Amino acid sequence: MKNLVTCLVITFVLTTQLCAQETSPKQLTMHLAVQQALKHSPDLEALRYAVQANKSFAHSEIAGYYPTLKLGCDISRENGEKQLASNTAINTDQLIYSFSGPLQKYQQAKSRTAVSECDKAIKQNLVRFETEKAFLSAWLIQEQKKSILAIKKSSSITFERQKHKNTLAQLDKNTWLKNIERYGDQLEKIENYQDDKQITYKKLEFLMGESIVVDHLALESTAKNRLQPLGTYYDYAFKLRPEIKRGSKLMDVEHWNFKLEQGQRLPIITTNAEVGLIVTPDGESTLLPVTIPQIETPGVKGPINRGQGYWSVSVSLRWSLFDGLVNQYKAQQAHANKLKEMLAREGEMLRIKGEVHEAYFTLSKVLKQRKTQKLRYMRQHNEFKLAQQKFDLGRLSRTNFNETITSWQKAHFEWLDRNVTVAVAERNLMHACGYPEL
């Protein structure tokens, strides 16, 4: 009996959990949106294949230091001879060293692979940043829906009452015109909300590559309580931004170009080994495929061929003593390109430093603005609570209370917008720094 009760309790608990999971609303977080966008991006997929292609090319270059093995077989007949000769040989070549050979080309190919990996990292950061901004905009639209509906309801009620008063000539002309202008502003805000919702949600869907079918967008906390010193963000950017690493790898490519052109004027050492067998059949023969008469030996089945084995080993040295200065000019070109890439990298560092500087002080400004706006927001909140108490006690009219609701919802609308502005500025600074782990 005790075991039966225990089983029933466990079944009840598991059923309750499953029901809770089925009825709980589906949520989409910023992290999940970014991961989906990174998987969907066609540009990123193309860059992944570019990295694979460069890696394969690098392996093919270093393969030049692996020995080659060839099997050859030929049948021939010289002019005036009646016999056919067969030659079968195995040949192997091994490059011992070249100053402009597989090792140098492999290092250059590795540098090109690193450049393509940096291109992929740059695109990843850009897709992440664009998705984060789109998600924040969509979240803002979602959170402002309640405020928009409240503004629409209270504005309509207030305007109808003011319109009735104007009909009864209880309002002067200026007050009525101000009411019309205020109501028009509210209607414009409501209409813009619908268009903004279509724009922001579709942009996020395009980046993710799928429709948003979740019930709720959940925003994790992104804003930091305080800013670190500006120099810290400079250090993050110089260490993490893939654009700077890309410039260094482009310099490496030109460095190995320079080495390759210099190596063209230096010697190349190779070895060659060959083992073969020359077989000459006995008897007269004609052109293939006529069968060649063979000498038969008692006790031995099959024809007898005269065979001669041979082997050879050689070491060769090749040295281009003069090539018309072609390689010298190409080496100078590679050196100039290396200096160009070095200066381009310095320029990229200055540009990134400017991005960090602008993003840092933009975030600092919006944080101060949010702090000031928070005081106004709290004042509007207190006024709304006070007006609600007065309305409940019958000391405030419905019209005045609706006006207070409209002002409060407008303040709440602007407060949400300010928080998203801060979040976007914070993500902009993180993107400028290469997304450090803070």
Identify whether 213 is part of a domain. yes
Supply the range of the domain harboring residue 213.
22-66+99-264+345-432
pLDDT of residue 191: 74
Measured between alpha carbons, how far is 147 from 142 in angstroms, rounded to an integer? Answer: 10
Q: Are 61 and 104 in contact (CB under 8 A)?
A: no
User: What string of DSSP letters covers 184-236?
Assistant: HHHHHHHHHHHHHHHHHHHHHHHHHTS----SEEEPPP---SSPPPHHHHHHH
Q: Which residue has the higher pLDDT, 8 or 81?
A: 81
Is residue 51 in some structural domain? yes
Which domain CATH number covers 53? 1.20.1600.10
Tokens of 28: 């989409």
Q: Is residue 393 part of a domain?
A: yes
pLDDT in tens, 95-154: 777 777 788 888 899 999 999 999 999 999 999 999 999 999 999 888 887 777 777 776
Q: Is 94 part of a structural domain of the chain?
A: no
Instruction: Give the type of residue at 34.
Output: V
Q: Does 323 reside within a domain? A: no
| pTM of the predicted structure, to 2 decimals | 0.75
Residue in the structure block whose two tokens are 């804003």: 223
Q: What is the mean pLDDT of the chain?
A: 80
Q: Above 80 in pLDDT, residue 30?
A: yes
Report yes or no on 423 lying in a domain: yes
Q: For residue 90, give the 3-state DSSP assignment.
A: strand
Q: Classify 84 as helix, strand or coil.
A: coil
Domain presence at residue 214: yes
Residue 287 resides in a domain: no
- Note whether 61 and 109 are within 8 A (CB): yes
Query: For residues 381 and 408, is the Cβ–Cβ distance under 8 A?
Result: yes
Q: How many domains does the chain have?
A: 1
Is residue 144 classed exposed, middle or buried when 0-12, 13-18 and 19+ CB atoms within 10 A define those classes? buried
